Structures are given as C-alpha cells and as structure tokens.
Chains A and B, each alone.
Chain A
Amino acid sequence: MDQKLYLSSPPHIRAEQSTEQIMRAVIYALLPACAVAVYFFGLPALRVLVLCTLACVLIEVLCQKLMGRPLTWRDGSAALTGILLALNLPPSSPWWLVLIGAVVAIAVAKQIFGGLGHNPFNPALVARVVLLISFPVQMTTWSAPSPWGSDFHTLTTATPLGEMQSAVMLTGELPAALQQNTLNYLLGNMGGSLGEVSALALLLGAGFLFWKRVITWHIPVSFLASVVVLAGFFWLLDPSRYPSPLFHLLTGGLMLGVFFMATDMVTSPVTPLGMVIFGVGCGLLTVLIRLFGGYPEGVSFAILLMNAATPLIDRYTRPRVFGTVTAKAKA
C-alpha cells in the first residue's frame, strides 16, 4: 500500500448543513422582509440595511484582528446580525446611530463574550435595546410608509402599538380605527422599524426556514400561542381597552422576533422542552410589557429576558435519559 489513508474515529460521514449554510439560509429568509422594507420606506431603508450589514462585518474583522483571533466573518453570522439589527431600526436612522448599534452588537454583545456561540444575549437585540434607551428620540421617529413609485414625503407617524399605548393612556380606550387596518398590517403598510412592517414577508421567510429545517416548531409555536392566549384573555376581558390577539400578532416586532430573534440558536435553549418554555416565556412577557409596560413594544425585552434564563432552562429541562424507568414501570 503506497496510498496514505486517513485515520479518524467514526462517524465518517457528516450531515450536509454546516454552520455557514445555516447562517446563509437565515439571511435568505430575511430577504423578502428587506425587500418590503425598501418598497415601503425607499432609499433610506436601503441605506440603513447596507450600512448596518457592512458595519457589522467590518467591526467583526476589526475586533478579531485586535484580539488576535482567527477571522470568521465568512461564517455569515456578523452579516446576519447586521441585517437583523437594520430590521430593528427606524428607516430614518442617522448613520451614526447605525454605527453605534453595530459596535454594540458585534463588539460588546458578541466578541467580548468570545464570538459566535458564546454570547448569552442576541447581539442585534442588545444593540436595539441599548439604542432605544440611549437615543429614544431617534429610535422612535417613524417615517410614514410611502410605497415605491408614490410621491416621497418625509412624514412622520406613529406605530400602531405606540398609537395604541398613548390612546389608552390618554382616553382609557382603544381608537376604533386601529383595529380595522388588519390587511395593511399584514402587508406592512404601517409605521415601524424596517423589519416590523410586513408580517407576510416574515412568514414567507419563516416558511423557508422550516422547509430547510433550520428552525423547529418549538419556539415559534409556543411563542405565538402564548401571545394569542394571554392577549386573548385581556381582549375578552375588556375589548374596548385591550386590542385583539390578531392586532398583537400583526403589529410591532412580533413576527420578526418570533421567527428570527427568539429562534437564534446561540441564545435559546438546546432541549426541546426548554425551547417550549422559552417560547412561552417570550410570549407572556411580550404581551405583559406591551399592555402594562412603559414601552409600546415588548418583544425585544421579552426575548432578552428569556435569553438570560436560557442557561437555567437548559439545566432543568434535560431530557429523561432513555432507560430511566420509573419504579412503577419496573415493577
């Protein structure tokens, strides 16, 4: 035998899907939402998307150079964080807001913890929340949607959730018009962050992720179900004060959060039961914060809070080991 043979321990074959492919699949899945954002908010939205993605990748490279670590921007995780962060920003975000966000997301929330796989919190969400708290004016200046081709005007508007909250605070009642815009909410014809706007585009991307088996049902289904149940409970209690579950599903960052942020593998539990608990926690916190919190939007806070609980959830949801037979079954 003159050939050199490889020696390694089994298994000798591997599943096709690599980490890079998973990241790329999530990026593809976000493209419809990006397209809708650009359609409704025009060039400013495109500018935020491109700037944010490039900034995140560059900052990842810069951090790794400074820390003497191997460069891993090719794995796509930094670009994905960039796109997710952009989708969490208002279309009118100034360039410096985007840059600060990228630094917070990549340098602070990811690289300091050791890079991909080691960050306890979703980097894009950390950045969003830091920006929201630090620059509340810039982060809540919403452009009115103006579909491509229509006259561009820089009107500002409120998000449906914001409108809801101030109306309830001022009058104690929901404005009737809010609940009748379902189709517009579904398509994305409303004020909001780039990626909040179109539930339909996000669902399309989510379908792709399910088809490619990148995400499982556990987190999205439990998240959505608990939102519907808790929101439904309050709605039935007092429909003049609390909006319908459908309104909750279609407005704000819910769809983006459910399918793309809560399902972030790194920061969510690894066990199936843990994922369900995580999803339920996200859903309940989202509704509670939306209805009773100081911010109109609760998804980001809910997911971050549950991120913090992830190690604990993992610890207490270990699957029952095969062959752990209960005393009864043994007898």
Chain B
Amino acid sequence: MTKKYKTFRGGLHPPENKAGSAHKPIEDCPLPAELVIPLSLHVGVPAEVCVAPGEQVLKGQMIGRARGLVSVPVHASTSGEVIAVEPRPHPSGKVLEAVVLRPDGADTPCDRVGEDQVHDWSATELLERIREAGIVGLGGATFPAHIKLSPPPQKPIDVLIINGAECEPYLTADHRLMVEQAEQVVRGSDIFRRVLGAKRVCVGIESNKPDAIQAMRRACTAAGMEVVVLATKYPQGAEKQLIFALTGREVPRGALPMDIGALVQNVGTAAATAEALSSGMPLIERVVTVAGPGVAEAKNLRVRIGTPLAHLVDYCGGIRGNLAKVLVGGPMMGAAQLGLDVPVVPATSGVLLLREEDLVLRPEGPCIRCGRCVQVCPSRLCPTTIAAYARLGRMDEAKDYNAMDCIECGSCSYTCPSAIPLVQSIRHAKASILAQRKKH
C-alpha cells in the first residue's frame, strides 16, 4: 500500500493519533498575562538584550540584537512593559536568559516600512529582510533561515524542497497551515526560490493529509511548483530521507544537502517568511498543536512566541486526568519538560500531554537479536550493535559501526521489543566520539 508513494528504505508507522486535531481550524490563542521571550530562540548564538526592565515596547520591536553570523534578532511578540530580564526555564531543559514582558492588551504594532515591494527586492535584499525578521527553521531544528538560504556560490541549489511531511504522531500544525494558508506557503516558497535561483520546487506531503495535498496542489500549480505525495511513514520528514524520497539523491555521509544541490525548508518557515516580508511584522508567532490524552480538547493554535505552555493548556480546557509527561514536539523526538512554565519558542511545533496510563514503562530486557532496529533504521545502521558497544564504553567500535551517521530519529528504540534505550546509547556514543575528536 505504501509502495505507490515515494519514500525511503526503513522507517516505521507508529499510530498517527492525529484525528484529535487534524480537522480543527487554527485558532488565535489569546495573550497570556506574562510573556517569557528567551534570548535563545534558535541554534545559534543567543541574542544580546537591548531593552531594560521598565521599558515600554511595541509589538514587533527588536528586544534582542543578533550577535555574530549564525544569529537573528529577537522581537517583542506584543506591546507592553518589560518587567524583567532574567534567567527562566527554557524548553531545552536549561534555565536561560529571557525577557519577561507584561502585555498591555493593546497589541500596538511598531512602525514598519510599507513592505509591498517584495517583488522588486533582489536576493540580497530578501535575505537581509529574512534575517531582520528573525526567521528560523520552524521544523524543529531552528537554524537561522538566512544562513541556510545563502549557500556558497560553488554549490548552487537546483531543487528547493518544502517539507510538509509532518511525520510525527499527534502533530497537525503544518497540516492545518497547508490547508488554511496554502497561498502563503507558496508565496514563501517562491521567495526562497528567488533567493536561491532554484529551478525546481517540490512540496512533500504525507499521504495521510489528503486535504492539505489538495489545497497545496491548487496553490502550487499556478506558481509552477509540484506537490509530491509521500508514504505515511516515520521519519519521512527527516531532511536526508525527504530529499531521497523526492529526488532519489542521497546526501553523502558527513555532507550537507547543498552538496547535492538540494535545500529543505519547512512549510511553517515558508509561511512565516511570506507573512513577515509582506506585513513587515517579524516572526513573533507560530502555529502549535496542543494534543494528547492529557488535554481536555486538542487544538491547533496560533501562539505568540513566549507564551507559557500552561496558558495554551488552559485555553484548550485544561489538563484531563493524571498528568505525567509534558512534551514539546512530537512523541518520537520531542523533549520532556520539567513543567508547564516553559515558553513557546520557534521550535515548538506541538505540546503533548500524556497521562500516567499513556506511558509505556516496560522494564528493559536483554536484546533478543530480533533485528527490528536494523530493519527500521533509516540510516541503515545496526543500532543494537552500536548501542551494545557504547554501553561497554568501546567507542572506537561504535564509531566503526558508523554511530556518527545516526540521525537520532528514535525508530530503533520505538520498535525494540525489549525496551532497550538504543537511540540514547547511540547519542551517548556520538557525544563521546565528538569529544574525542575535539581533543585531537
């Protein structure tokens, strides 16, 4: 059945659990009493704060200046008073510097240049606007978009891939975005295409989102872009797997997609870019799926960056049952949180609430060598062997078995009947190997 759609080898199909929110239109989440906007919103260097407590700021005003190349500025997501600049819990699990903002309720935007001239801008101008707008990859890796969109001239991009796979269970934010704002996704993709000078643009969408496929097809045809239906399979949205499914090209080990002329951007990033460049308002919000058996009603929400998770959960009717685990992201790769006080950041594609009874707390058993981890590994590794070496501290052997090629999708741990934390052990091996490399 999966054969007729494009895909990669390996992977698996966990229960999708998307029915709770797949048909729910995106709602605007009201402003919370307090916004906590971390100065680390992406993988690069944290921004440098440029406001002080007591200061009044306007919606879209810069509150953190970009520092260095791999960095973008941070903006206030509404108007109000800066009440503190202090370390606060961050979804990464660390406590990081953040600007705490008390909204004044007026949501007054700061002055922005009339930006209807998107069509006249050159690639350089577009890139500069993208950087100024604080656009980062909204697929989860949050790499600053302007860097990714400026490959060296000797590595031209001929195919731009727009990632609408959304292969994580429960998450439907990208799905709804494609259904409701297909035009905007296409406009954003077109901006990327112009910046890159790419000949071909394809949007990859999993087969389980027929309404999104339809909406995107309609919008893409006019713009000369293609929509490709992908098999519904995890991790279909992983960059290298997606490129292979759509182009048949394999990103060489240790190389980047640009080395084979491909570049991947998430549908959310495309929509945010189109929005920011046409309205002049920088990235101050994103669509978040709130789902899971632990929440009263699953919803897709347009949320201001900095909104505490607790506020989202309240808006969805609150907690249902005995809350046991809070995840930011999907169940396959998301990060478990210490509490609901962490804010929404650009990487927050979903908030997942699980109850005690939803957790699989199976004790770990011995490896019975069933080979399932080998069969599902999209990188085609032998996870059980790498993990076994990693646990023995034999990192050289782990490296020999190509531990560094692991994309950490967690398919091996998911499928293991003995509940062995394979991907964790491989991550440990990767960290040790990297540390070893740095020493030399």
Q: Which residue of A lies closest to B401 (CB)?
A: A318
> In the complex, what residue of chain B is closest to A115 when comparing beta carbons?
B366
Cβ–Cβ < 8 Å partners of B415 in chain A: 15
In whole angstroms, how far apart are the Cα atoms of A18 and B370 in the complex? Answer: 11
Max chain B C-beta neighbours (<10 A), residue from A7, A18, A275, A322 = A322
Instruction: Flag the segment in B128-136, B149-157, B329-337 that touches A.
Output: B329-337
Tell me which residues from 1 to 41 in chain A have a Cβ below 8 Å from any Cβ of chain B. 1, 3, 5-15, 17-19, 21-22
CA A97 – CA B381 in complex, angstroms? 44
- Residues B14-37 near A (CB distance < 8 A): 14-15
A330 → chain B, closest Cβ, in Å? 7
Measured in the bound complex, the distance between the Cα atoms of B423 and A22 in whole Å is 22
Nearest Cβ on chain B to A92's Cβ, whole angstroms: 33
Contact with A along B394-420 (1 / 0, CB 8 A): 000000011001000011011111110
Select which of A75, A266, A321 is within 8 A of B369 by beta carbon. A266
A181 to B416, CA, bound (A): 44
Q: Is the CB of B362 within 8 A of A6?
A: no
- Residues of A with C-beta under 8 A to B254: 323
Interface string of B361-385 (1 = CB under 8 A from A): 0100111111101110111111011
Interface size (A, Cβ < 8 Å)? Answer: 45
Cβ–Cβ contact B374 & A272, under 8 A: yes
**Smallest CB–CB gap between A25 and chain B, Å?**
11
Q: Complex formed: what's the CA distance from A220 to B378 in Å?
A: 25
A-chain residues with CB within 8 Å of residue B416 when the two chains form the complex: 14-15
Contact B401–A1 (Cβ < 8 Å) = no
Which label, helix, strand, loop or mixed, suits the secondary structure of the B interface? loop
Q: Are A319 and B331 in contact (CB under 8 A)?
A: no
A271 at the interface (CB under 8 A from B): yes
> Chain A at the B interface: mostly helix, strand, loop or mixed?
loop
CB-CB under 8 A from A271, the residues of chain B are 371, 374, 382
Residues of A close to B8: CB separation below 8 A? 322
Q: Does A146 contact B (CB under 8 A)?
A: no
Q: By the criterion CB–CB under 8 Å, are B367 and A117 in contact?
A: yes
Task: Tell which of B107-115, B222-230, B245-253 binds the partner.
Answer: B245-253
Q: Which of A6, A17, A116 contacts B325 (CB 8 A)?
A: A6
Q: Is the CB–CB distance between B410 and A11 below 8 Å?
A: yes
Question: What are the residues of chain A within 8 A of B427 when measuring CB–CB?
Answer: 9
- Report chain B residues within 8 Å CB of A15: 12, 14, 414-417
Chain A residues in 8 Å Cβ range of B401:
318
A298 interfacial by beta-carbon distance below 8 Å: no
Enumerate chain A residues within 8 angstroms of B251, measured Cβ to Cβ. Answer: 323
Q: B-facing mask of A46-67, CB < 8 A → 1, else 0? A: 0000000000000000000000
A13 x B360 contact (CB < 8 A): yes
Q: Which residues of chain B have C-beta atoms less than 8 A from A11's C-beta?
A: 331-333, 410-411, 413-414, 423
CB of A269 closer than 8 Å to a CB of B: yes
Which A residues are in CB contact (< 8 Å) with B377? Answer: 319
Stretch at the interface among B39-47, B195-203, B278-286, B338-346: B338-346
A-chain residues with CB within 8 Å of residue B255 when the two chains form the complex = 323
Show 15 A/B contacts (Cβ-Cβ < 8 Å), sorted by A: A5-B324, A5-B338, A10-B332, A12-B325, A12-B331, A15-B417, A19-B417, A75-B365, A265-B370, A270-B371, A271-B374, A275-B371, A321-B379, A322-B244, A322-B380
Please name the 5 residue pairs, one residue from A and one from B, whose CB atoms are nearest each other, closest first.
A117-B366, A270-B371, A11-B410, A319-B380, A323-B253
Contacts A5-B323, A323-B250, A330-B252 given; 5 further ones with Cβ under 8 A? A5-B339, A11-B423, A14-B362, A19-B365, A321-B253
Interface residues of B (CB under 8 A from A): 8-9, 12, 14-15, 169, 240-241, 244, 250-255, 322-327, 329, 331-341, 352, 354, 359-360, 362, 365-371, 373-375, 377-382, 384-385, 401-402, 405, 410-411, 413-419, 421, 423-424, 427
